[in-house]
Structures are given as structure tokens and as C-alpha cells.
A and B are shown apart, each in its own frame.
Chain A
Amino acid sequence: MRKRADIEVRIDPSCEEPVIVIRTARRTREVEAIIRAIEDSLSAESPPIPGQRGGATYLLDQRDITRLYVEARKVRICSAGEVYESGRSLSYLEQQLDPERFMRISRFEIVNLREIESFDFSMAGTVYIRFGDGSVTWAARRYVGAIHRMLQRLSAEKGE
């Protein structure tokens, strides 16, 4: 039997931006698919990022990218546990990335904020970022303020 969902649109002049509420008893696979479809539609302006690995070019979904960094003068992209190379500069890729999701943390690296697990500060005074996949990188201290403001803005938006 084909599964279907009722779609109800309420016109509310007080909502300047659309608010999407999904009413469900459980977070099922279908619900996840709906969320993904809505996110895809909202992030239509976030194009996939091309990355090369083993002679092939892959189009990487921005949501799967953990970080983009410069190593040995080459831009590398960590996505879903794999490392890809890009012929583009980090600055160019920064323009393509979703600014609500990605943030520069040093001259050499841009990270996906949603993939960050925690921040650490060593005795030597280095800021470390730990990701959900277990990888660790460092951030320049001068970017800490910007990260703080970004996280505050994102949590304020989420709380609205």
C-alpha cells in the first residue's frame, strides 16, 4: 500500500519565513526522507562540491563534508570518511559552501559546524576541534570570536 501524508498549509501573516512542522508518532525512515527533501529544496543554492579520488571525480554533498583544508599546497576535502582532492582554491570553494553550515577556522581550513563534536584548549594554548568522526584539527585563535558569534546566532535562530 502506498504511504501518503497530509499536507496542510496555514497562512499566518506573523510568520515572515515559513515554519515547517512535521507531526508524527515516530521518526521513521519516511519522516527522515521528508526532512531530507525539504532540506534539499532549501539548500538548492548549495551545489555539490567536486572532489577527485583515484582518478575519478565525485560530486560531494555539502552535508557530508566534514572539512576542507590545504595540505602540501593542495586542497583536500574530507567527506563521509574519505579524503578527496580539489583543483580549486580554498577561497573559491568557500564561496560555494553554505555559509550557514561552513566556517573558516584558519588560513588553511574550513569546517562543517554541524560535524563538530567539541572544542579543546591545550596547555600550550592551541585551540583544537574534534569532529564526530573522531578526527581532530586546530583553529587559529583569531577565528574563535567569529565561531562564537556564529554559534550564538545559529542557536538563537534555532530557539526562535
Chain B
Amino acid sequence: MLWKKGALYALIGFAAGALIGGGIHAALDAGDGKLLLLNLLVGGFYGAVATGSSVVYEIDEWSILRATVTHFLLVTVLYAVTGLSMGWFRMDEPLFWIIIGIMTCGYVLIWLIQYLLGRRKIRRLNEDLKRWKGGSGRG
């Protein structure tokens, strides 16, 4: 069951995201306990969506490109919305755009690596097929 796997990933992501949200809160010295709770929750939510949605790579009907673009858009848009609304970044800060750039490069790299690995696997499959069929034909 894909949704069960997604829920498990989301749970792990929530814990990691909350930890990062708390870390950012501490680093920014952002003040009171109420804001800390909000940072923990928003960080957790971001982590849950980012990891939970990684199951898109396991949807049979989806190509690597479709899964990568979907995950990239989800993670990047959510990053921008949560980061800006929580005051973790500002759009006029270079850091905001640097992170967007790093994320874009990261996803291009993910697609490229998966594409190259997939192509190699398919080459092997064709070699296996050729070796097996090698003159035996249909039987």
C-alpha cells in the first residue's frame, strides 16, 4: 500500500522537520515559546510533506521525470510559502534564491542520475534478452 508507506515516511519527515524548525528557531533567536511551537509544527509539516510525497517515485504509471518534477514543485513551493510566512527568509535575501538554486540543481541531478542508471539497466536487459534468445527464437 503506497499511502501507508507515504504515511510512514511523512511521520519520519515530521520528526526531522520539527527538529530543523526548532534548530532554525534557536539559530534566529526567534523568541517566545509560542513561536517555538509554531516553528516546530511548520517545520514538521514541511518535513512530512517533503518525505511523504517521495512515494510519487513509486507510482507505477509515473515516469521518473513526472515524479521528479512533481516532488520538486511540491517541496520548492512549500519551502517558499513556509519559509517566507514564518520569516525564516525574505525574498530579497540572496540566501532564499541560493537555496532555490541548490534545490533546482539537486532535482536535476536526481533526474539525471536516475535516468543514467535506468538507461544502464535497460541496456543490460537488452543484453540478457539477446543472450537468452540467441537463435532460440519463439518457442
Binding site for B on A (CB under 8 A): 35, 39, 63, 106-108, 114-116, 118-127, 132, 140-142, 144-145, 147-148, 151-152, 154-155, 158
Contacts and interface: CB of A to CB of B under 8 A. Distances in A.
Interface string B96-124: 00000000000000010011001101101
Given A39-B139, A125-B114, A151 B65 contact: no
Nearest to B59: A140
The residue in A118, A123, A151 that gathers the most chain B C-beta atoms within 10 A of its C-beta is: A151
A156 to B, nearest CB: 9
Interface residues of B, number: 26
Given A114-B139, A115-B138, A125-B118, A155 B64 contact: no
A115 B138 CA distance: 7
Contacts of A155: 128, 131-132, 134
24 contacts: A63-B138, A107-B60, A114-B138, A119-B125, A121-B118, A123-B115, A124-B63, A124-B66, A125-B64, A125-B65, A125-B67, A125-B111, A140-B61, A141-B118, A144-B122, A148-B121, A148-B124, A151-B125, A155-B128, A155-B132, A155-B134, A158-B132, A158-B134, A158-B136
Contacts of A141: 64, 118
A158 B139 CA distance: 13
Nearest to B127: A151
B139 A124 contact: no
B137 to A, nearest CB: 8
B27 interface: no
B28 interface: no
A126 B63 contact: yes
Contacts of B60: 106-108, 140, 142
B133 to A, nearest CB: 8
Nearest to A101: B139
A114 B137 CA distance: 8
B126 A119 contact: yes
B94 to A, nearest CB: 33
A63 B64 CA distance: 33
A119 B129 contact: yes
Contacts of A108: 60
A10 B15 CA distance: 69
Output the residue of A63, A126, A141 with the most chain B CB within 10 A.
A141
Contacts of B126: 118-119
Given A125-B115, A140-B60, A144-B121, A118 B129 contact: yes
A119 B114 CA distance: 17
B55 to A, nearest CB: 12
Contacts of A158: 132, 134, 136
Nearest to B125: A119
A104 to B, nearest CB: 11
Contact of A142 (B58, B67, B129): B58
